[in-house]
Amino acid sequence: MKFMKKKKGSTRVLSTGNEAIGTAAIKAGCKFYAGYPITPQNELIAFMAKNMREKGRAFVQAESEVAAINMVFGSSAAGVRAMTSSSSPGISLKQEGISYLAGCQLPALIVNVQRGGPGLGNIGPSQSDYFQAVKGGGHGDYRLIVLAPSSVQECFDFTLLAFDLADKYRNPAMLLLDAFIGQMAEPLVLSGQRIAHGVKKEWALTGAKGRKANVIRSLFLGEGYLEKWNLSLQKKYKEIEKKEKRWETLNCEESEILFVSYGISSRIARGAAKILREQHNINAGLFRPKTLFPYPYKELRQAAREKKAVFVFELSYGQMVEDVRLALEGEAAVHFYGRAGGEVFTPEGIASFVKKKMK
């Protein structure tokens, strides 16, 4: 635990985002972790290697990300809380397994600490896997529950939430963060978080004692069966969309323009809003989605009403901005500013872009 510095008697620790995820996973009762080393999430696999083993829980350094996601599949099928973590290229490898998890209705947590891409890219932060996380990635009509923390505290909180939501809906969930949040250290408050216990899993493979045999499958060859299965998945996704949207608004009522940003970008956007207010008398509000699926389309449209302009900032060349345009349906002008390739924009860079657009 390199960065977990704890003052005696305190429930406040200094932690990196990666280690906060590990801490929360253990608190949530995660009993199986499989992963493969890849920067920038190596602190998480190291944390799990030490702490899962110390607690007598299962840890496997798998032979590949493909193997890891399939081990998670097995563990989840056995009714156990299971997770894996990786970064962009490794998440690409996991896409088939993720589709299988969704198709078989298995809960699991997949952590993506995004890095520069495409291909081998670099190990800088990015938000370039939004499409992959939210719009598909794997084959078939499925959705992942996607949570986007913007702080070390949220890494912890959203991990607990992700396990709960995954169990509640029998669906895989993804924690979408980046190298910046994964590796930075911030204060983390451990107290007050209830320890989640999960739901009873009647469907799990626990040995057919006193019940009919359970089968975990996504294959339905008979006429109409797969369609019926898919319709039940779609019904589930509609329920998730209705009930599980989470977002944050800052200074949205009075502001003349609106920033829409998530994760680390939202922190930088807040810095830009401060510069614009103090130096240029431009009043910007912030709309920050916490869940990327389900996406708070309605709430965003509401927040954007009567704004002079909407600015979207992402560490990508424009992925979430498409959902913003979908949400607004022409309600306001949308401007996009992004940087990727492992580079990070600055509050000054964003502020200057906004100022130019406002002229």
Partner 1 sequence: MKAKFKKPDSLRDVSTHYCPGCGHGIVHRLVSEVVDELNLRERIVGVAPVGCAVIAYDYWDFDCSEAAHGRALAVATGIKRSRPDLTVFTYQGDGDLASIGLAETVHAANRGENLTCIFMNNAIYGMTGGQMAPTSLTGQKTITTPLGRDPQQGDGFPLKITEMLALLPKVVYAERRCVCSPPEVIKTKKAIKRGFLNQIENKGFSIIEVLSQCPTVWRKTPSESVKWVKEEMAKAFPLGRIK
SS3 state at 4: coil
Q: In this complex, which beta carbon is closest to partner 1, that of residue 62 or of residue 344?
A: 62
Query: Which residue of 221, 224, 253, 306 would you call a contact of partner 1, by CB under 8 A?
Result: 221
Site for partner 1 in 37-66 (CB under 8 A): 58, 60, 62-64, 66
219 binds partner 1 (CB under 8 A): yes
- Give the Cα separation of 353 and 62 in Å (integer): 45
Nearer to partner 1, 137 or 342 (CB): 137
Of the two residues 77 and 327, which places its CB atom closer to partner 1 in the complex?
A: 77
Q: Does 118 contact partner 1 by CB under 8 A?
A: no
| List 20, 21, 48, 80, residue binding partner 1 (CB under 8 A) | 80
Q: Is there binding between residue 341 and partner 1 (CB under 8 A)?
A: no
Distances (CA, A) of 98 to 90, 176, 190: 12, 14, 30
- Of 171, 123, 168, the C-alpha closest to 145 is 171
- The Cα–Cα gap between 170 and 322 comes to 28
195 binds partner 1 (CB under 8 A): no
Q: Considering beta carbons, is residue 64 or 232 the nearer one to partner 1?
A: 64
| Residue closer to partner 1, measured from CB, 64 or 279 | 64
ω before 294 within 30° of 0 (cis)? yes
**224 part of the interface to partner 1, by CB under 8 A:** no
32 lines the binding site for partner 1 (CB under 8 A): yes
Q: Is 208 one of the binding residues for partner 1 (CB under 8 A)?
A: yes
CA distance 23 to 6: 13
Instruction: Centre a 10 Å sphere on the Cβ of residue 337 and count the other Cβ atoms it contains.
Output: 22
Binding to partner 1 (CB under 8 A) within 134-173 occurs at none
Sequence-ordered alpha helix ranges (H) in 28-151? 42-54, 65-77, 88-93, 95-103, 130-134
Stretch that binds partner 1, among 94-102, 127-135, 234-242, 315-323 (CB under 8 A): 94-102
Stretch that binds partner 1, among 75-83, 146-154, 186-194, 284-292 (CB under 8 A): 75-83
Exactly one of 16, 18, 23, 70 binds partner 1 (CB under 8 A); which one? 70
Number of residues this chain uses to bind partner 1 (CB under 8 A): 41
Structure tokens at 291: 């869940």
d(CA 69, CA 234): 23
| b/e burial code for range 128-149 (CB count within 10 A of at least 16 → b) | bbbebbbebbbeeebbbbbbbb
CB of 213 to partner 1, least distance (A): 5
Q: Which residue type, as a one-letter code, is found at position 20?
A: A
- What DSSP element (H or E) covers 285? strand 284-289
Interface stretch with partner 1, choices 41-49, 179-187, 205-213, 311-319 (CB under 8 A): 205-213
Stretch touching partner 1 by CB under 8 A, among 115-123, 174-182, 218-226, 283-291: 218-226
> With respect to partner 1, which residue has the nearer C-beta, 228 or 280?
228
Closest approach, Cβ 79 to partner 1, in A, equals: 8
Determine if 226 is a binding residue for partner 1 (CB under 8 A): no
For 5-34, b/e burial (b = at least 16 CB within 10 A) is: eeeeeeeebebbbbbbbbbbbbbbbbbbbb
* DSSP symbols for 79-107: T--EEEEE-HHHHHHTHHHHHHHHHTT--
Q: Where do contacts with partner 1 occur on this chain (CB under 8 A)?
A: 31-32, 34, 58, 60, 62-64, 66-68, 70-80, 82, 96-97, 100, 104, 205-210, 213-219, 221
